[in-house]
Amino acid sequence: MGKVVRTLKFDGRKSAIEELKNIYSVNRENEIIKVEEGVTTYKGVELDSILVNIIEEINNSDTVIKIEKLVSLKAFLLSKEQNMDINLLLYNIDKVMKMSDDGLNKDEHGIIFDNQLKAFLKEANIDAVDSEDNIILSDGKRKTSVAVHNNSINFNTIIELGI
């Protein structure tokens, strides 16, 4: 389990807010949960269907935007209970957070188990152990198994194994 942070730097506050509006349709009406000197935190901002927290830090002439997302096996298991497409969820998380170098690769079976997925899992502090027909994932709090077919992982088959 890990909190993933994506940092974006802008030349001014206006350009930062405009960029977030243009790319992710973020508006200033999102819930502000904390305002400190030069730092504003927005909770539960939806970026491409992914809920994240956004931290806006205003410095002298620039603005730093940090996008935070907690990625965990528990979240994957809860998503399965809600009948969500976990493969699509991971793909969208990676698209927003840029956890892999070039984006996750997917096919009709799931997400391809390649260096991109390994980078994604590493960023989330999730260990993956490959076996013949499944992959064991662990994040320090729980252990799960997901099915593998032709080097593609179907995260929709995730089951909890324990700790």
pLDDT in tens, 63-112: 888 899 989 999 999 999 999 999 999 999 998 888 888 889 999 999 99
119-125: long-range pairs with CB below 8 Å, 24+ = 120/90, 120/94, 123/2, 123/4, 123/71, 123/97, 123/99, 124/1, 124/2, 124/4, 124/71, 124/72, 124/99, 125/1, 125/2
Using left for φ > 0, alpha for ψ between -120 and 50, and beta otherwise, residue 51 falls in beta
Which pLDDT band, with edges at 50, 70 and 90, does 1 fall under?
low
Mean pLDDT of 108-120: 93
Mean pLDDT of 46-52: 84
CA dist 52 and 88 (Å) reads 16
The number of C-alpha atoms within 13 Å of 136 and in the hemisphere containing its C-beta is: 9
Using the 8-state DSSP alphabet, how is residue 62 labeled?
-
Whether the pLDDT of residue 54 is over 70: the answer is: yes
Report yes or no on whether pTM surpasses 0.85: no
